[in-house]
Amino acid sequence: MKKRLLHAKIHRAVITEANLNYSGSISIPVDLMEAAGIAEFEQVQVVNINNGLRFETYVIKGKSGSGNICLNGAAARMGELQDRVIIMAYADLEAEEIGSHSPKIIVLDETNTVINRIGV
């Protein structure tokens, strides 16, 4: 039996942009994607700390080092600029994989710079 566990988390990212006229997704800088172990087009759950809304979308690459977290398409309605969000990705693991599993978690400051790494 497989179980779904957290495999990657970007904690306390700040929304810096929202683009309603885009086909949909969340843009994350490549350096942050790599630090957290999130792939382009991977499904993620986004939790808005400011308003409590949760939604699912997929990730597209943003410019590395830019610090820009952009909600695109319908997701642009799920948060305001400067809101803090948690971005989480999950993996389906076999029972024997669970004991050795450790998610990658990065914590960001107000400029979307990594200030802490857990399980990385």
The residues assigned a catalytic role are 25, 58
The tokens for 1 are: 């039996």
| Alpha-carbon span 29 to 31, nearest angstrom | 6
Q: Among candidates 30, 20, 31, which has minimal Cα distance to 78?
A: 20
Residues 6+ apart with CB under 8 A from 2: 92, 93, 94, 95
